[in-house]
Chain A
């Protein structure tokens, strides 16, 4: 590869990185120092540490954590069963298929299912519990978000399970380990990287789900994403929106650092 060819390949790509990766981040950081009237100020950062925003940040992280946990609890067994099937590639494709359907359509479907006269309430009535308010609650928000992220968690775990050498489980069983011990001491630690990748793929987007909070949670749940959308598109307070954005970016780097650093350590072993 000659140097000239390399430069030719690099220029458009470097141009893109500069304009659409570096510039937007710099702009977000820059705008976080301006108030709604365009004056230079640190007040946005001071505001962020008031109870209103801190409470929102904590609840946003808490919801993202719950979504991640539920997704993991449902996805790990699913991936485990999937790897043992005959036509597993086809089944995996069927698991991924719903992710190709527009997210908003799925949220919209749940508006029908969880609505006052929806199927979920009909079922509750049928088993004798009676109609309940399901839509616009924490439950519906967690349910729909978990639903949306399941395939993104299954995929990396499935890949990790597939890469695992099957003779390891055979060896464990030959040495007298029970099924549970084999899973907990052999299979799970080996596939931990897949779990981490899945958690990363769920946790960060879960912090910024604003359409689900609007459609399903009826503004009862406010995540960092909802707050950014509100500041940018409703109140037009770009400064405060950018400040929240800065914290979201910092959170993202911390999460990536935690999962990334551990992965390297695992590779050395």
Chain B
């Protein structure tokens, strides 16, 4: 069992490196000295600063509004897209749709950002809330499709046939048969879209104009000016929020696994 011990030590080092910067930020957010090199005393001043900074709070609000709105819309489009791909009769069209779907996922962020910037400028869309929102919707849709598609694929087509035979309308089939079945995938997709939107920097940086900023763009411009501990305080708050989100995601996954188990039982 000697090998196992070394493995665990190695893993501990990896975990240490992964988490060190995060806890480093959190630790210095309480530093009275106002820098990240020497801890002089405990203070909550920077948290006060964050909560008194109206501009920053508006930016936080913007970020959440964009994230929530874009993930809701992207989820609707993504579910429709997944249905379209799943029930596409011609394999060639199906594969083409899937490849096109993946273009935005594998494209480098800078290229997406730059191309959207050209696109919005040509259309005459003013850079700001609308352009950021639309971009976030656009890059979240393929993620939702990829989360929903496996659920649709494992759903037996006989379920739909049975519902149709029993006289269900098209809408009933969708709302009473398909959607409940794929719900875990839809939630996972919504969640992923939400985190992608909250986390995005590169695309937003390109399509945001003067006067509208999201959190990551704001952090970037502040960080370029050097170290300011209100960023540390903010990151601590964000970290706590992220943990809450992750716990939520974990429970959705758990439920996912449970429904999968429950559905498998009758088959046997």
Measured CB to CB, the residues of A under 8 A from B are 1-2, 4-6, 9-10, 12-14, 16-17, 19-25, 27-28, 31, 74, 77-78, 80-82, 84-85, 91, 93-95, 97-98, 100-113, 115, 117-119, 122, 147, 150-151, 179, 200, 204-205, 207-208, 210-211, 214-215, 224-225, 228-229, 232-233, 238, 241-242, 245, 248-249, 252, 256
Contacts and interface: CB of A to CB of B under 8 A. Distances in A.
Contact of A77 (B10, B110, B122): B10
Nearest to A122: B37
Contacts of B150: none
Contacts of A80: 7
Given A13-B141, A17-B100, A24-B112, 14 more contacts: A1-B160, A9-B83, A17-B101, A21-B101, A101-B22, A101-B239, A102-B216, A108-B223, A113-B36, A117-B35, A147-B18, A204-B108, A208-B110, A232-B117
A129 to B, nearest CB: 17
Contacts of B35: 117
B87 A9 contact: yes
Interface in B198-247: 198-199, 201-202, 205-206, 215-216, 219-220, 223-224, 227, 231, 235, 238-239, 242-243, 245-246
Contacts of A31: 118
A225 B108 contact: yes
B115 to A, nearest CB: 3
Contact of A112 (B25, B83, B205, B224): B25
B251 to A, nearest CB: 12
A215 B223 contact: yes
Contacts of B77: 12-13, 16
Q: Is the interface of A mostly helix, strand, loop or mixed?
A: helix
A111 B170 contact: no
B199 A102 contact: yes
B223 A103 contact: no
B83 A208 contact: no
Given A5-B170, A93-B250, A104-B201, A204 B106 contact: yes
25 contacts: A1-B160, A6-B84, A9-B84, A13-B80, A16-B141, A21-B101, A21-B103, A27-B119, A78-B11, A84-B4, A93-B250, A100-B199, A100-B242, A100-B245, A102-B235, A109-B24, A109-B235, A111-B36, A113-B36, A147-B21, A200-B106, A208-B111, A211-B201, A245-B111, A249-B107
B109 interface: yes
A93 B246 contact: yes
In this complex, which of A9, A119, A205 has the most chain B Cβ atoms within 10 angstroms of its Cβ? A9
B14 interface: yes
B138 interface: yes
Contact of B21 (A23, A78, A109, A214): A109
A110 B112 CA distance: 27
B190 interface: no
B104 interface: yes
B226 to A, nearest CB: 8
Nearest to B223: A108
| Chain A to chain B: the 4 pairs with minimum beta-carbon distance, closest first | A112-B36, A24-B115, A208-B108, A13-B81
Given A13-B80, A104-B219, A208 B7 contact: no
B108 A95 contact: no
B235 to A, nearest CB: 4
B97 interface: yes
A9 B80 contact: yes
Nearest to B93: A10
Contacts of B119: 19-20, 23-24, 27
B108 A25 contact: no
